[in-house]
Amino acid sequence: MLINHLGRPATQLSDTTTNSSSTTSTEKNNILKRFIAKSNKYLIASTLSALAPMASAVDFDITIDNITRGLYFTPIAVVAHAANVNLFVSGVSASTELQTMAKTGEIEDLARVLTSSGATMDNNPAAGLLAPGAAATSTLDTINATANTKLSIVAMVLPSNDGFVGLNAVDIPTEPGTYTFYANAYDAGTEANDELRGGGGLNTPGFPVPGPLNPVLGTGGAGVTNTIEGFVHIHRGNLGDTNTAGGISDINSAVQRWLNPVARITVTVR
């Protein structure tokens, strides 16, 4: 009988070698099976993820709170729109439609242009002026307009020459829940902020004076400035004064000055 160098019969060496090779082969097979199982799991998960619909179409409520002490918002435009649409851009001249809204409070021209772009809108949810401390709620449904993934809100701020509250193209949340945004007041840069009563027309200097504002405004102001900026920017706020029958401004500085933000926007996705 042959004896190997370990002192075992050759046949035993052969048996031992075969068993070791078999064990190694079994372990490799098990590793391969586990790898294939994991690969299949990841492949299935990736496929299901690719087949799942994009979360973009939503049904949601928007509540606008006027958080100022003495400012009114004119009829509000609440707009869901595509990413390539902007109601305004800071540092850039205002469109004619934005100028009309910021100087007169009218949103019809703005609504017409936005509707033609495919935007989803709710106009004038407050059914008129939104008073200090008051709130208005809109409901938008973009189920059939999945490209409208941005939310913008604008309304003229009174008293001001061409100031407006603006929420500018924020992403519309897609997951159910409640989300809060704050909106600043902007200056359209299309009229000098003289802070004087006027007719409220597109080509008429001065700001419109609706009924609720009349008793709390002054008269006979000389005018704060005659400079027109020419571009949209964050509003400096009203300067005003406390002289109700003269001074430089017709705005009451004790009531109608403000610091940004001027509105709280609450979006509730169902």
User: What's the pLDDT tens digit per position in 81-96?
Assistant: 999 999 999 999 999 9
Nearest alpha-carbon partner for 82 in 182, 169, 181: 169
pLDDT at 19: 43
Quote the tokens at residue 76: 């509000």
- Please tell me whether residues 37 and 10 are part of one structural domain: yes
- Please tell me whether residues 229 and 183 are part of one structural domain: yes
What is the pLDDT confidence band of residue 7, given thresholds at 50, 70 and 90?
Answer: very low
pLDDT at 211: 94
What is the CA angle 208-212-215, rounded to 5?
90
pLDDT at 11: 34
pLDDT of 245 above 90: yes
- Mean pLDDT for 204-214 is 95
- Please tell me whether residues 138 and 23 are part of one structural domain: no
- For strands 72-73 and 263-269, give the pairing: unpaired
pLDDT of 242 above 70: yes
- Please tell me whether residues 38 and 64 are part of one structural domain: no
- Please tell me whether residues 20 and 153 are part of one structural domain: no
- Please tell me whether residues 6 and 110 are part of one structural domain: no
Residue 85: give its domain's CATH number. Answer: 2.60.40
What is the pLDDT confidence band of residue 24, given thresholds at 50, 70 and 90?
Answer: low
Tell me the C-alpha distance between 144 and 177, whole Å: 21
Tell me the C-alpha distance between 56 and 53, whole Å: 9
Find the DSSP H helices in the chain: 10-51, 96-104, 108-116
- Please tell me whether residues 181 and 239 are part of one structural domain: yes
- Please tell me whether residues 45 and 76 are part of one structural domain: no
The domain boundary, picked from 37, 52, 67, lies at: 52
- Mean pLDDT for 121-140 is 98
Find the DSSP H helices in 105-222: 108-116
- Please tell me whether residues 171 and 238 are part of one structural domain: yes
- Please tell me whether residues 113 and 243 are part of one structural domain: yes
pLDDT of 124 above 60: yes
Q: In total, how many domains does the chain have? A: 2
Tell me the C-alpha distance between 225 and 248, whole Å: 9
Q: Cβ atoms within 10 A of the Cβ of 180, count?
A: 10
Question: Residue 261, preceding bond cis, omega within 30 degrees?
Answer: yes
Q: How far is CA 164 from CA 98, 103, 134, 141, 253, in A?
A: 9, 9, 17, 25, 18
Q: Tens of pLDDT along 171-191?
A: 999 999 999 999 999 999 999
- Please tell me whether residues 82 and 32 are part of one structural domain: no
- Please tell me whether residues 24 and 65 are part of one structural domain: no
Residue of higher predicted confidence among 102 and 4: 102
pLDDT of 55 above 90: no
Note down the domain range covering 13: 1-52
The domain boundary, picked from 52, 72, 87, lies at: 52
